[in-house]
Amino acid sequence: MEIILTVNKANVYNEVAKTTSYIGSKKESGQGAYKRVFTSDDDRLMLERFWNECCDEATSCFKQFLFAVSGVSYNNYVDLSAEYSVGLSMPSSFDEELTGSINSVLFNFFVKGICGRWLNVAEKDEAATYAAEAAALLNDLTQKIYYRKKPIRTPV
């Protein structure tokens, strides 16, 4: 069975902007912290590198089942219409009911992974939390990908 997982870059960047805006607004050092932490359009080229790093990590997680991947671009421009899309050939014992959950975890991994990398540059005291959350999401993703449903006996 084949499944396709897709993450929209514009949606991820919007969520990263919301998250970093919130973090910056809660810092006690005021407006300076907000400007430093919040990801603006001017930061997108750096975020693009973080996007590609997350694509590489996710692809590595899926490598055993991978038959197609797109959305990784190592150019010096940002294409917000791009999507990370991965096609996986899963065994028949894979639980298709997990596909939506896997896609959701993948999206959250991108958000936390990019935030963690960004905060490592802009606000180091917050970076470890987001990096740990991204690692936990990647672990959850791996567990879901490798989960197999129990066979169902049919009456004879």
Whole-angstrom distance, CA of residue 116 vs CA of residue 124: 9
Beta partners for residue 68, in sequence order: 87
pLDDT tens track for 5-30: 999 999 999 999 999 888 887 776 65
pLDDT tens track for 83-95: 999 999 999 999 9
Has residue 131 been placed in a domain? yes
Domain count across the chain: 1
pTM for the full model? Answer: 0.89
Has residue 154 been placed in a domain? no
At 58, the pLDDT band (50, 70, 90 cuts) reads very high
Instruction: Dihedral sign for Cα 75, 109, 138, 120, please.
Output: positive
Has residue 155 been placed in a domain? no
Has residue 98 been placed in a domain? yes
Give me the helix-helix angle, 99-122 and 44-62, nearest 10°.
Answer: 140
Beta partners for residue 66, in sequence order: 88
Q: Which domain covers residue 75, as residue numbers?
A: 2-146
